[in-house]
Structure 1
């Protein structure tokens, strides 16, 4: 069962219009929302970011955030999803192909669910990452469908038997191909500020809140590649990867080569958060 606009339909019976602008131009936005034990996690924050992304590309929401939220909840229930994700996207709609915005296109919302376990093994052991030049456009703060730069980086990481690529732009670390990057040094946490050069991840925002609650100093300033290699700990955050320890960078061991204490405390914080919230 999928959600098409505000109607629940059989997935196999649906198709993409060949002139949908999301298909032809990547002209649209999306969100990936975690589901734990049948409950949508941080749904309000995801809806706020969806609304912002639409406004930034001058595209109207097809329905109110409340109606979208209610329909996504119903989709999770109809598909009996326990642990997994909801993928939601909105495109500017189908229209004869021109680069400028068409006058009469109707934006189209689609969503589907996917079972997906938490990455327990990697959360315990950590991952290996590589650094790559950040070749993406300058509006990474918009969660748009234009992901070719991210896709190419993720493939390069896979080729090198790593789980993530970390972008470097003008000598500064921005973010991962599908994550935000944090560095721990001398009990301080360093991460790129929420500018146009990164996506302000939902998990990123929550981690900043938890660090403040724990009394750990956060420096929102772009780390350097040297700060990564000399870090006591390093971790990335995302909806699907949660708080993921990084144990090596370009083949160099980070810290002790094991998930560090601050990383582990944040992993526990996210478990406590989704365990106690009914969304």
Structure 2
């Protein structure tokens, strides 16, 4: 069972956890979140997740309510109270509770901190494929901030689902940015390409691991602009995220990518990723 949540210093059953109607996260989506995979009760790349959390809070001028050591203790306790094993930890920090509904930030607030756990399905043996559709990136200009304001992502992901696809791959001015819930990679002539990390994408922790593993495997990695035509003519396309890890895209809007099967580079990096995880959790 994953019924225990952490809310502002207390461990509570989900049904008993309550926030104020004047919390700015509830009113304005004024907050930051992180999703941390946990394998065999061990958080994956926790330092990098906490570094990104700190960066995003700083961008919004929200005081980080805890030190890294305090965050680690909270997360460890939450893992233990929810039975350990393979979990996904959702961590959210909002600016806090205001005296009134006012968009102007004219008071000092204590951030609201909430963490919850959910089961994480792990399939280490096989690699799961997915389909995608290309959609215009309608989101704001600071996608590098992991904001809880996810309405644009929700609209795009649900549009993809309505079209019978697993994910939406987004583009601005004919340049690929990322997926609605993932980062995007492609392979051409056994070289790996991914859009550059800037304010138009959220630099994923899993994205960073894949780049490291690819370079260690002797693959050339290009972090540069990818056009829609580049993507559609690629030998392989994958998406990556904390929950998906590496998920090859076999078709985009009905067009078969490469052979229509999991490509050789994806297979190699999937195996490398699983081996890398085991070095951290054993």
**Which band: TM-score by shorter chain?**
over 0.9
Distance in 2 separating the partners of 1:102 and 1:2: 30
- Say whether 1:56 aligns with 2:34: no
Matches within 5 A, 1:105-144: 105-118=109-122, 124-144=127-147
Equivalent in the alignment of 1:152: 155
Alpha carbons of 1:106 and 1:195: their partners in 2 closer, same or farther (altered >3 Å)? same
- Say whether 1:26 aligns with 2:29: yes
Equivalent in the alignment of 1:226: 229
Equivalent in the alignment of 1:36: 39
Equivalent in the alignment of 2:251: 248
- Say whether 1:213 aligns with 2:212: no
Equivalent in the alignment of 2:102: 98
- Say whether 1:88 aligns with 2:91: yes
Structure 2 stretches of 5 or more lacking a match?
none
Distance in 2 separating the partners of 1:130 and 1:182: 15
Distance in 2 separating the partners of 1:119 and 1:5: 34
Distance in 1 separating the partners of 2:156 and 2:229: 20
Distance in 2 separating the partners of 1:92 and 1:65: 19
Deviations 1:65-92 (A, max 9, x none): 2101111111001110311200000000
Distance in 2 separating the partners of 1:127 and 1:262: 16
Distance in 2 separating the partners of 1:101 and 1:192: 35
TM-score, scaled relative to structure 1: 0.96
Runs of 4+ in 1 over 2 A off after TM superposition: 118-121
Deviations 1:214-245 (A, max 9, x none): 11111111211111111110101100010111
TM-score, scaled relative to structure 2: 0.95
Structure 1 stretches of 5 or more lacking a match?
none
Alpha carbons of 1:12 and 1:191: their partners in 2 closer, same or farther (altered >3 Å)? same
SS of 1:98 mapped into structure 2: coil
Kindly report the root-mean-square deviation, in angstroms, between the aligned alpha carbons of the 2 structures. 1.4
Candidates 162, 166, 170, aligned match of 1:163:
166
Candidates 261, 265, 271, aligned match of 1:268:
271
Distance in 2 separating the partners of 1:148 and 1:101: 22
- Say whether 1:188 aligns with 2:160: no
Distance in 2 separating the partners of 1:213 and 1:120: 20
Distance in 2 separating the partners of 1:255 and 1:168: 20
Distance in 2 separating the partners of 1:108 and 1:125: 37
Number of equivalences: 278
